[in-house]
Homo-oligomer: A and B are copies of this chain.
Amino acid sequence: MAATIRDVARLAGVSQSSVSRALAAPDQVRAATRERVERAVAQLGYEPSRIARGLSTGRTGTLGFLVPDIANPLFAGIVKAAQRRSRDLGLAVLLADADEDPATELDLIRTLTKQVDGFVLCAPRAADEELRSVCGDLPVVLLNRRVGRLPAVIFDNADGVRQALAHLAALGHRRVAYVAGPRTSWVNRERQRAVRTGAAALGVDVVEPGNVSPDLEGGVAVADLVLAAGVTAVIAYNDMIALGLVSRFAVRGVTVPGDISIVGFDDIPAAALVSPALSTVSQPQDRCGRAGVDLLADLLDDRPTGRARAGGPRASLPTRLIVRASTGPARHP
């Protein structure tokens, strides 16, 4: 059996209270006492039980981290960064993978809500009101999503889209497709809107073959529609879809970028590997994950905004177009 605070107290010849204090507020304890406690702690290899502590403090030292799909490299990268930061802050991470399903998501939040101090919701798919109500007054930080005035870390999607469109327009493309991601994705709606307004401003026609799942299958499934639309370039909701397109295009004998140019989003590792390499709008995953955790930690410690640490409670992170294979349309060399 692991040692408890009582064992330490007994061994050190002091009360439990003193042990507790010696550990939590060392300066409220005489040096001599503190030392005896520390010795006892070391000798017994004592480590306080987090759950027992949780019971009395009402805090668990754990944060809930929700993602739509941990197999998506973007989210894996964000989780990794968040994980590291949490560790540094002494927080544990309860991971929840919602499988891209809004209902599962709400379910997970509901069941986890009792065991965490707060949530980082990465790109949640559920509706605004449902998210609000399910979170109650638990501290929440959103990533890749905006809901009212809740603290959030987002990428500058509009600017990313602008860069992508400007790039394609400069190459001479006049008719591009936007392959939309999940209807439930706030980011998708943002990009969609940005594509529409941005394209109009540049005098570029936009075709939208519809919404697909944000993975390889989604891209493969929609590829033929894209071809049928007679566009010379396509902007995909994310790199997974883009790679799915590449793959299906190859099967159809359509060359990239010769016959059609593609721009994705996220700059996942695989994007640089396919050949020709994928042009993509890169997003700083680590800053995102880190900022999310920082923001939540601030909330937990009651630091109202956390401006100092995370660059504002509603940080917008810059995105950057990475040009790899894209070229102008074939008929316009």
Residues of A within 8 A of B (CB): 2, 47-52, 54-55, 60-62, 65, 69-71, 73, 76-77, 79-80, 83-84, 87, 92-97, 99, 108, 110-112, 114-115, 216, 243, 246-247, 250, 269-270, 272-275
Query: In the docked arrangement, what's the CA distance between A83 and B93, Å?
Result: 13
Asked if B94 and A93 make an inter-chain contact with CB atoms under 8 angstroms apart, the answer reads yes
Chain A, interface SS category: helix
Q: Which residues of B contact A93 (CB under 8 A)?
A: 94-96
Give the number of times this chain occurs in the complex, counting copies. 2
A177 to chain B, nearest CB (A): 20
Query: In the docked arrangement, what's the CA distance between A93 and B94, Å?
Result: 6
Q: Which residues of B contact A92 (CB under 8 A)?
A: 94, 111-112, 115
Q: Which residues of B contact A2 (CB under 8 A)?
A: 114
A84 to chain B, nearest CB (A): 7
Query: In the docked arrangement, what's the CA distance between A246 and B275, Å?
Result: 10
Asked if A71 and B60 make an inter-chain contact with CB atoms under 8 angstroms apart, the answer reads no
Q: With A73-B73, A76-B76 known to touch, is A97 a contact of B114 (CB < 8 Å)?
A: no
Asked if B55 and A51 make an inter-chain contact with CB atoms under 8 angstroms apart, the answer reads yes
CB-contact partner of A275 in B87, B114, B270, B275, under 8 A: B275
19 interchain pairs (CB within 8 A)?
A47-B114, A50-B115, A51-B51, A51-B54, A51-B60, A55-B55, A62-B115, A71-B76, A73-B73, A73-B76, A79-B95, A83-B96, A87-B108, A93-B94, A216-B273, A243-B270, A273-B274, A274-B274, A275-B275
16 more A-B contacts (CB under 8 A) besides A73-B73, A243-B270?
A: A65-B95, A70-B70, A70-B80, A70-B83, A71-B73, A71-B76, A73-B76, A87-B108, A92-B94, A93-B95, A93-B96, A94-B94, A246-B273, A250-B275, A270-B270, A273-B273
Query: In the docked arrangement, what's the CA distance between A65 and B94, Å?
Result: 10
Q: Which residues of B contact A97 (CB under 8 A)?
A: 79-80, 83-84
Query: In the docked arrangement, what's the CA distance between A2 and B272, Å?
Result: 49
A219 to chain B, nearest CB (A): 10
A230 to chain B, nearest CB (A): 25
Q: Which 5 A-B pairs have the closest CB atoms?
A: A95-B95, A270-B270, A51-B54, A83-B97, A71-B76
A285 — nearest CB in chain B belongs to which residue? B71
Asked if A76 and B84 make an inter-chain contact with CB atoms under 8 angstroms apart, the answer reads no
Query: In the docked arrangement, what's the CA distance between A210 and B49, Å?
Result: 44
A258 to chain B, nearest CB (A): 14
A259 to chain B, nearest CB (A): 15
Query: In the docked arrangement, what's the CA distance between A87 and B112, Å?
Result: 11
Query: In the docked arrangement, what's the CA distance between A47 and B111, Å?
Result: 9
Asked if A115 and B83 make an inter-chain contact with CB atoms under 8 angstroms apart, the answer reads no
Asked if B216 and A51 make an inter-chain contact with CB atoms under 8 angstroms apart, the answer reads no
Query: In the docked arrangement, what's the CA distance between A247 and B275, Å?
Result: 9
Query: In the docked arrangement, what's the CA distance between A80 and B72, Å?
Result: 10
Query: In the docked arrangement, what's the CA distance between A69 and B50, Å?
Result: 26
A298 to chain B, nearest CB (A): 22
Query: In the docked arrangement, what's the CA distance between A95 and B54, Å?
Result: 19
Asked if A275 and B274 make an inter-chain contact with CB atoms under 8 angstroms apart, the answer reads yes
